[in-house]
Each structure stands twice: as structure tokens, then as C-alpha cells.
């Protein structure tokens, strides 16, 4: 029976230096040839899904941690931060002297000093994922198409990520925006590196539910693949959940199956284990 596969991008499909394993490309193409549907399900907005990922061959995507759903080029759902909320967020982060970037399907828009202030956090994030050479990375290596110097008051935002000076910055921001979805990434609890702000009650599981309704498909025919805490609702919702070996402790503990690391052909090995493709 054909399955619907939902694959996180960073740490699952690609490593934290944006390297895409050839085995992952082979696995996805073989799975689609066998009749399975494949969607990426990512925190990235559409502008961050670069051509090499689309060139694999995909049925669509869920982006912005669930704010955007696309199937075969058709926009199924797109829930945006309101312009009023966007202005409040920008003004608040400026008042706290927290550098940030705005995530939109039209691009990533950096705050005035993000390239300098965000560098250490991005390097540390890569280092925590076990990648060599993290100290050589630049912001433009991580975000090659990031836009600098643009107007920061926008009406097309999926979410906003900001550099944490301390965990208290996240707690204060969460209290300031009870009408928004507030999360952290880059570490557990007080060792998080970034906060993010998005549309209330939006997550990957909700977006999968919306897409399944659009497809007329069943939840029990879904398989989710992820590596981070934010992927847990998706793995819990889907019929079967796979965690990457390089993933966090929490997602590995709750997954139905733990495969190898992303850069050790983990996605390919999981597809073979599940009988989606032949080894």
C-alpha cells in the first residue's frame, strides 16, 4: 500500500551545512517511483527551499513549521502573521536589542546587525550538531540568499527567528506575545540559541492534518521523519515516526524507529527498513 511521507529538512534530509546526501535523493526518487508521495515538512519558508531540494522530485511541502501547505504547486493553506503583529514584533525585538530575521515565502530579511550578532549563535548551533569546521561558517554560508537592508515592516511573514541573549529573553518575549506561537531552537530549555515567533496554534501536525484532508488520505498511511523537538508533534500525529540517529534525545525516545545519522545514509536506511524501497 502506498504511503505519504513527511520529511523534515535540516538534520533529516540535509545536514547542518546544507549537504544533501546522494543516498537521500536516491531513496526519495525510488519511493515516488514505487507510488509513495513525498513532502518536505520544515521550519523553512518556501524561499529557503533551494532548487537542489526541488530537483529531487517532491509532491509538495509544508513550510514555516506548519503555516504553509503546498501540493503539486497548489497552495492549500497559508496563514500569515498579521501586519500589526509583525510591526509589534519588530519594535519589541529592537527595543530589547535582539537581532533577528524575518521568514517569508518571498525571502529572509535580516535585522540591521544580524550578520554580526547572529554569527556566534549559528556557529554554535552547527557545532552542537557535531559538524566539523563550524567556526569557519559565515551567516551567508548558512543563509546564502538572505536579504540585508530591506524594510522590516512586512505583511508576508510566516515567522520570525531571533538571537537569544539569555533564556529570559525568550520568557519575556513569550509573555509579550500571548497571541502568537513562541518556541526556541538550537538547544533544550535554557541552552537554546534562538527564539521564534509564529502564528498561534500552528505546528507541523496541524499542517499534515490539513494536507490529508485536501488529499482525502488517511492518517494511518503516513510516516514522518525528523530530528528535533519541534518535529515531535508530527511524529506523534502520523501513523509511524522515524527519528534520525543524530537527532535530539527527546525525539529519539518517542519515535517508533531510530535510523542512522543524516550524513550516514540515515534516510535511505530507514526507507529500506520500512520496505518503502528495495535495498
Same domain, 134 and 236: no
207 shares its domain with 263: yes
- Domain for residue 15, yes or no? yes
Q: Give DSSP secondary structure letters for 154-211.
A: -S-EEEEEEE-SSHHHHHHHHHH-TTEEEEEESSSGGG--EEEEEETT--HHHHHHHH
The answer to whether residues 89 and 165 belong to one domain is yes
Residues 245, 186 share a domain: no
Domain count, the chain: 2
134 and 110 in one domain? yes
* Residue 61 domain flag: yes
Asked if 101 and 72 sit in the same domain, the reply is: no
Is there a domain that residue 173 lies in? yes
Residue 88: pLDDT above 70? Answer: yes
Q: Which domain holds residue 146?
A: 83-199
- The torsion angle over the Cα atoms of residues 143, 144, 148 and 151, rounded to 10 degrees, is -70
Same domain, residue pair 122 and 182: yes
Query: Does some domain include residue 104?
Result: yes
Q: Which residues contact 230 (CB under 8 A, 6 or more apart)?
A: 43, 65, 183, 185, 203, 204
Rounded Cα distance, 8 and 271, in Å: 14
pLDDT single digits (tens) 179-208: 999 999 887 667 899 999 999 988 999 999
With 90 as the cut, is the pLDDT of residue 279 above it? no
Nearest C-alpha neighbor of 142 from the set 186, 184, 97: 186
What separation in angstroms does the CA of 50 have from each of 102, 145, 146, 243, 257? 17, 9, 12, 23, 29
CATH number at residue 96: 3.30.1240.10
228 located within any domain: yes
Same domain, 106 and 127: yes
Question: Which of residues 199, 231, 262 is at a domain's end?
Answer: 199
Residue-wise pLDDT for 209-262, tens only, equals: 999 999 999 999 999 999 988 899 999 999 999 999 988 889 999 999 999 999
The grid coordinates listed for 90 are 519588530
Of 199, 214, 229, the last residue of a domain is 199
DSSP structural state of residue 238? S
Q: What tens digit of pLDDT does each residue of 127-163 get?
A: 887 777 888 899 999 899 999 999 999 999 999 999 9
What proportion of the chain, given as a percentage, has pLDDT over 70? Answer: 99
Residues 99 and 191 in one domain: yes
Binned at pLDDT 50, 70 and 90, residue 125 comes out as confident
* 278 occurs within a structural domain: no
Q: Are residues 151 and 208 in the same domain?
A: no
Are 231 and 255 contained in the same domain? yes
Q: Are residues 113 and 193 in the same domain?
A: yes
DSSP per residue over 42-71, as a string?
-SS-GGGS-HHHHTT--SEEEETTTTEEEE
> Residue 206: inside a domain, yes or no?
yes
In a domain, 279, yes or no: no
Out of 149, 178, 199, a domain closes at 199
Amino acid at each position: 500500500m502506498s504511503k505519504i511521507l513527511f520529511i523534515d529538512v535540516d538534520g533529516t534530509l540535509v545536514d547542518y551545512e546544507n549537504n544533501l546526501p546522494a543516498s537521500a535523493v536516491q531513496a526519495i526518487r525510488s519511493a515516488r517511483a514505487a507510488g509513495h508521495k513525498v513532502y518536505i515538512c520544515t521550519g523553512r519558508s518556501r524561499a529557503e527551499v533551494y532548487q537542489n531540494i526541488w530537483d529531487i522530485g517532491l509532491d509538495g511541502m509544508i513550510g514555516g513549521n506548519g503555516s504553509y501547505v503546498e501540493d503539486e504547486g497548489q497552495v492549500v493553506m497559508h496563514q500569515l502573521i498579521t501586519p500589526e503583529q509583525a510591526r509589534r514584533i519588530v519594535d519589541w525585538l529592537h527595543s530589547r536589542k535582539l537581532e533577528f530575521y524575518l521568514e517569508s515565502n518571498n525571502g529572509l530579511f535580516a535585522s540591521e546587525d544580524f550578520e554580526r550578532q547572529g554569527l556566534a549563535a549559528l556557529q554554535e548551533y552547527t557545532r552542537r550538531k557535531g559538524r566539523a569546521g563550524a567556526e569557519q561558517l559565515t551567516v551567508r554560508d548558512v543563509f546564502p540568499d538572505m536579504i540585508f537592508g530591506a524594510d522590516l515592516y512586512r505583511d508576508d511573514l510566516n515567522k520570525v527567528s531571533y538571537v537569544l541573549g539569555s533564556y529570559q529573553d525568550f520568557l519575556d518575549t513569550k509573555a509579550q506575545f500571548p497571541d502568537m506561537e513562541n518556541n526556541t531552537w538550537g538547544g533544550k530549555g535554557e541552552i537554546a540559541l534562538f527564539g521564534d515567533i509564529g502564528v498561534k496554534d500552528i505546528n507541523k501536525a496541524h499542517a499534515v492534518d490539513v494536507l490529508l484532508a485536501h488529499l482525502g488520505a488517511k492518517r494511518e498511511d503516513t510516516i514522518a521523519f525528523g530530528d528535533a523537538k519541534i518535529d515531535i508533534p508530527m511524529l506523534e500525529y502520523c501513523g509511524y515516526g522515524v527519528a534520525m540517529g543524530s537527532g535530539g534525545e527527546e525525539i529519539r525516545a518517542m519515535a517508533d524507529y531510530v535510523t542512522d545519522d543524516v550524513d550516514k545514509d540515515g534516510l535511505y536506511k530507514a526507507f529500506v527498513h520500512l520496505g518503502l524501497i528495495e535495498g
